[in-house]
């Protein structure tokens, strides 16, 4: 496994396992156990995924020492604000059966995320959270938060894949020493990623799959990735990306695939913001 060192010295695996959209508790528990048995040590969940308890059970059953694991969760929109966020973080720790979190992120840049971040800073300072950061923060809101916070976000998890490589955003994060992390490293198969001729051509040179090339490209750019699959064979395939290296020519070929646009939605789009904030108001019940 390769690691990145966050801005506070904490080491984070560059490859982890994500549990987005695995809402069935038994399946999520099985998947996390399979991932840990495969060799994954970083697990990414969120309050909004409603599977923190399943993740917690899998961690306990795995038998892997707590200090070997890197566990991430995220504060949802409906839990924003200092008091609500603080209570929800304690609830997340209870559900995960953990004494501390390795990384805690603000899930979306909506509602009182400044109050949320203050609660996170406070828990960070007493050691309940080893690193704090954000998710889905575009450069404008990210810079604003950086400028008016005591603790610079250690991570910003944003949509990042071969079709949306976040080149400019990545440069801005580097300026402030925040690690970029990818959600959706396969773009959920959009734009026919899994049959892309360029990725296939590059993969054939190394006897690697399109998925492995897509992950390797991001890893070589210093992007943390958390691919999600419920298939153990795919977990193993996604994990097996450290035994080859793309050449400069390979990297340049793949860089051309960048459209500079989201394959999903834009936080600059009023309709998207209305949808996410309305959804956030409903809470998690």
Would you list which residues are annotated within the binding site for substrate? 107
Contact (Cβ atoms closer than 8 angstroms) between residue 185 and residue 225: yes
Q: What is residue 161's DSSP assignment?
A: B
Non-local (6+) Cβ contacts of 107 within 8 A are 46, 47, 48, 74, 75, 76, 77, 135, 136
Would you list which residues are annotated within the binding site? 107
Contact (Cβ atoms closer than 8 angstroms) between residue 84 and residue 92: no
Contact (Cβ atoms closer than 8 angstroms) between residue 143 and residue 177: no
**Rounded to whole angstroms, how far apart are CA atoms 109 and 273?**
10
- Nearest residue to 183 via CA among 166, 164, 163, 159: 159
Active site residue 49: yes
**Rounded to whole angstroms, how far apart are CA atoms 192 and 253?**
17
- Catalytic choice (3, 20, 40, 49): 49
Query: Strands, E, within the chain: which ranges?
Result: 3-5, 11-13, 17-18, 42-44, 70-75, 103-106, 132-135, 155-159, 179-183, 224-225
**Rounded to whole angstroms, how far apart are CA atoms 222 and 114?**
28
Q: What angle do CA 80, 41, 7 make, to 5 degrees?
A: 60
- Chain centroid offset of residue 117 CA: 18
Residues annotated as catalytic are 49
């Amino acid at each position: 496994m390769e690691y990145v060192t966050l801005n506070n010295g904490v080491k984070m695996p560059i490859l982890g396992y994500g549990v987005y959209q695995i809402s069935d508790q038994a399946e999520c528990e099985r998947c996390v156990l399979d991932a840990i048995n495969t060799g994954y040590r970083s697990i990414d969940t969120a309050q909004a995924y409603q599977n923190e308890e399943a993740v917690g059970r899998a961690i306990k059953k795995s038998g892997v020492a707590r200090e070997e694991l890197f566990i991430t969760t995220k504060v949802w929109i409906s839990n924003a604000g200092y008091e609500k966020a603080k209570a929800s973080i304690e609830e997340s720790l209870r559900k995960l059966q953990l004494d501390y979190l390795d990384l805690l992120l603000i899930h979306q840049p909506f509602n009182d995320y400044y109050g949320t971040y203050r609660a996170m800073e406070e828990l960070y300072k007493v050691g309940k959270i080893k690193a704090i950061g954000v998710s889905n923060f575009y450069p404008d809101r990210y810079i604003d938060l950086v400028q008016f916070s005591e603790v610079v976000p250690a991570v910003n998890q944003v949509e990042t894949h071969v079709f949306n490589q976040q080149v400019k955003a990545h440069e801005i994060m580097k300026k402030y020493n925040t690690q970029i992390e990818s959600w959706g490293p396969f773009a959920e198969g959009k734009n026919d990623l899994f049959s892309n001729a360029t990725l296939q051509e590059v993969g054939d040179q190394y006897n690697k799959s399109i998925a492995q090339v897509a992950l390797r490209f991001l890893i070589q750019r210093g992007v943390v990735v958390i691919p999600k699959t419920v298939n153990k064979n795919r977990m193993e395939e996604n994990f097996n990306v450290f035994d080859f290296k793309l050449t400069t020519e390979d990297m340049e070929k793949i860089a051309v695939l960048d459209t500079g646009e989201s394959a999903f939605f834009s936080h600059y789009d009023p309709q998207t913001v209305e949808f996410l904030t309305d959804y956030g108001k409903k809470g998690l019940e």
